Amino acid sequence: MKPRVMSLVLFTCMVGMLIAPTNVPLTNSIISLIAVALGSGAAGALNMWYESDLDALMSRTCLRPIPTGRVKKNQALYFGSFLSILSTTILYYSSNLLSSILLLFTICFYFFIYTIWLKRKTPQNIVIGGAAGALPPVIGWTIATGQISIEPIILFLIIFLWTPSHFWALSLYKAGDYKRAKIPMLPITDGIQKTKFNILVYSLAMFPVAIAPYFFNLASIAYLIISSLMTIFYVVLCLKLFREKNTKFSNIIARKIFVYSIFYLFVIFLALLMDNFLRLF
């Protein structure tokens, strides 16, 4: 069920729900978040069912349940399918139809569009496929409000533009894995330098979106300062990576970017949550 991925999905969904202008009863909010967690787990299980052959070839994924024989392929398929139906049904009854549809769309997009169609065919797999990972805060917002507005779209764009630099940094120092599995990640198809350039471009594109909540009255100046400083440091790291010519040092910086990117997204959404909470008093 990919619990580490699920934790980030759950957190961004929770933030989307809590900063929305409508309060959700505690019981409904807990049940809805459990449903989203189950939906995330469903997508993860289906992904690992379909990619078990690739997972066995990569050092990062070779210890997953199917390659190691702890779970049979059919078990993963049945489990993921069951969780997909269960999660969307629970969310429909605990919140509303729109949230349930969005969760089902997220699962289907991640599995059919990203896993089956894009991942093995194009180096832009992570760019387009990133839409699935960017939808949880939108789902959280719709759980509270039952509608989509500009605010959740901004939250979506923050994660959507964050995703390429995050995963391409990983693909730089794990390029051997992707090459062995014949996955067309950008470093394999377009080279190291172009990947570094694209990482830098996306880090720059994040800046206006990261500070946008302040200009749309979703956050205060405190958030503006935090998000600006966090994103500037992100860009500096990516610029340093772009300028580095030594492969060994490039991989070290790429690993730092990957680790920092996780911390970055967590802090951005935590800052949004805390800013919203403090503005209530």
* pTM of the predicted protein model: 0.95
Report whether pLDDT(281) > 70: no
Contact 9, 266 (CB under 8 A): no
Both tokens of residue 149?
A: 């507005």
- Predicted confidence at residue 56, as pLDDT, reads 93
Tell me, rounded to whole angstroms, the distance of Cα 116 from its chain centroid.
18
CA distances from 62 to 59, 83, 119, 180 (A): 5, 24, 18, 12
- Predicted confidence at residue 60, as pLDDT, reads 86
Give the single-character DSSP code of 196.
H
Report whether pLDDT(107) > 80: yes
- Write out pLDDT tens, residues 14-39: 999 999 999 999 999 999 999 999 99
Higher-confidence residue of 91 and 4: namely 91
- Write out pLDDT tens, residues 163-202: 999 999 999 999 998 998 899 999 999 999 999 999 999 9
- Write out pLDDT tens, residues 69-82: 999 999 999 999 99
Both tokens of residue 64?
A: 């997953």
d(CA 11, CA 176): 32
The residues, any chain, with a CB within 8 Å of residue 84's CB and separated by 6 or more, are: 39, 42, 43, 46, 104, 107
Residue range 94-117: average pLDDT? 97
- Predicted confidence at residue 280, as pLDDT, reads 65
Give the single-character DSSP code of 121.
T
The residues, any chain, with a CB within 8 Å of residue 85's CB and separated by 6 or more, are: none
Report whether pLDDT(279) > 90: no
Residue range 152-173: average pLDDT? 97
Residue 180: its H or E element: helix 175-181
Q: Decide yes or no: CATH 1.20.1250.20 for domain 1-122.
A: no
% of the chain exceeding 70 in pLDDT: 99
Look at residues 179, 197, 180, 196 and name the one whose alpha carbon lies nearest to residue 188. Answer: 179
